[in-house]
Amino acid sequence: MKTIASFTVDHDLIVPGIYISRIDGDVITYDLRTRYPNAGDYMDHLTMHSVEHMFATLIRNSPVGDQVIYFGPMGCQTGFYLLMRDTVPPRDVYRLVRDTLLAVVRHTGEMFGAERKNCGNYRNLNLFSAKEECRRFYDLLPETPTDMAYPATPDAAAPVPPAPPAHFGVLAAMQEELEGLLPRMTEVQERTVAGIVCRTGTLNGKKVSIACAGVGKVNAALCTTVLISILGCNRIINTGVAGALSPDLKPLDLVVADRLVQYDMDTSAVGDPVGYLSGAGLNRIYLESDSDLRAALMSRAAAEGVPCRAGMIATADRFVASSEQKSEIRAAFPDAAVCEMEGAAVAQVCTLFHVPCLILRAVSDCADGSSSMDYPTFKVRAAATSASLTASLIAGAR
């Protein structure tokens, strides 16, 4: 079977840029490669779809719009194809692409084609995402066109793809646990996925998406999946409050997870230890947070004089409010520092997606019979402490 032309190009040599992919009669196919192939940094569907709506509309309304045949995303999520009549010289197409990218970035109106009657998936659009992708590509392109042929040798390509820019996903179980972050964000765009309201914007110069997951492991796992697979987050922070299990912890102390366990996962009847997670990519009891994020967080906490320690977080679909329940957890997992209802589920999803995560908890109560009294008192203050430190961590990320 004949190999199609695009499969004959060595993708290990391609770097972001504009290339002539093929010529068929009077039609030239341009490869607008916005990202490095096979580097782990891919556009999510929302971004591809949003760029398609904005770029296609603007380029078709350019002075040579009648020479545009097609514009659309690549299935590999690393760029777009633009098909033009050869009446427009390649050097002019290059300038046209840059001008159109800039027009998307500077657009002040609404998203094009964002109504039900205009699009088959009209809810899956976000103007901010389109602007960010176009700004990123525009900044990579030199003002003067260069050779638009694919690199033929390793020397012609960039040696190492740069690390993708940080896109933090921050989730919490309750809206109060995000209140300290929302006012700090700018250029905020909102969308709802699977009932989860997600807000994407800029926080301390970094792209951030935040979402209120709801209480419990399933809600947390769903929200984490949405942040990673739909919004394209490549670092996850789960912030919130927890009950103290360790006797030396007091309200407003911070615990950043080094290990996490789902203590209500129990298949011991068939010979597994309590907490054992089976399945592809798991087969373990303990999950881990990212060591670099954890070290950075603890360093910032120390600099700000905030009590913070690394420790094990115990997760279950259970609000612990008695000394008996607290003793049960400590008996099974003596090293557990705090208990809560989401962290290990977030860590499980991140483990399977190979996305680094940080699970941060501020102690709000003592997880015993007094929780009904002191939980409402400390919840807001504890959440504010976590939010402040989260914002500081994001500001220092690269």
State pLDDT tens for residues 190-237: 889 899 999 999 988 889 999 999 999 999 999 999 999 888 899 999
The arithmetic mean of pLDDT across residues 27-45, rounded, is 90
State pLDDT tens for residues 9-25: 899 889 999 999 999 99
The predicted pLDDT at position 373 comes to 44
Integer Cα distance of 250 and 362 in angstroms = 10
Integer Cα distance of 205 and 211 in angstroms = 19
3 state DSSP class of 243: strand
The arithmetic mean of pLDDT across residues 281-310, rounded, is 90
| 8 A C-beta contact, residue 328 and residue 206 | no
How many contiguous H segments (helices) and E segments (strands) does the chain have?
8, 14
Superfamily of domain covering 167-396:
Nucleoside phosphorylase domain (3.40.50.1580)
The predicted pLDDT at position 79 comes to 96
Rounded percentage of the chain residues whose pLDDT exceeds 70: 93
Number of C-beta neighbours around residue 244 at 10 A: 23
pLDDT at residue 372 is higher than 50? no
Name the maximum alpha-carbon separation found in the chain: 79
Closest CA to 296 of 340, 360, 232, 363: 360
The arithmetic mean of pLDDT across residues 317-328, rounded, is 88
What are residue 208's DSSP bridge partners? 168, 201
The predicted pLDDT at position 118 comes to 96
| 8 A C-beta contact, residue 25 and residue 14 | no
| 8 A C-beta contact, residue 235 and residue 167 | yes
| 8 A C-beta contact, residue 184 and residue 206 | no
The predicted pLDDT at position 379 comes to 67
CATH of domain 5-156: 3.30.1360.80
Integer Cα distance of 26 and 22 in angstroms = 11
The arithmetic mean of pLDDT across residues 386-396, rounded, is 83
Rounded alpha-carbon distances, angstroms, from residue 87 to 67, 81, 84, 134, 169: 8, 18, 8, 25, 45
Integer Cα distance of 8 and 14 in angstroms = 12
State pLDDT tens for residues 78-118: 999 999 999 999 999 999 999 999 999 999 999 999 999 99
The arithmetic mean of pLDDT across residues 236-240, rounded, is 94
pLDDT band at 369 (very low <50, low <70, confident <90, very high): low
Rounded percentage of the chain residues whose pLDDT exceeds 90: 59
pLDDT band at 368 (very low <50, low <70, confident <90, very high): low
pLDDT band at 178 (very low <50, low <70, confident <90, very high): confident
Q: List the chain domain ranges.
A: 5-156, 167-396
Per DSSP, 248 falls in state: T
Question: Which is it for strands 254-262 and 308-315: parallel, antiparallel or unpaired?
Answer: parallel
What are residue 24's DSSP bridge partners? 27
Is 264 or 362 the better-scoring residue by pLDDT? Answer: 264
Report the range out of 94-98, 139-143, 271-275 with the highest average pLDDT: 94-98
pLDDT at residue 363 is higher than 60? yes
Residues marked as catalytic: 177, 365
Dihedrals phi, psi of 122, to nearest 5 degrees: -65, -20
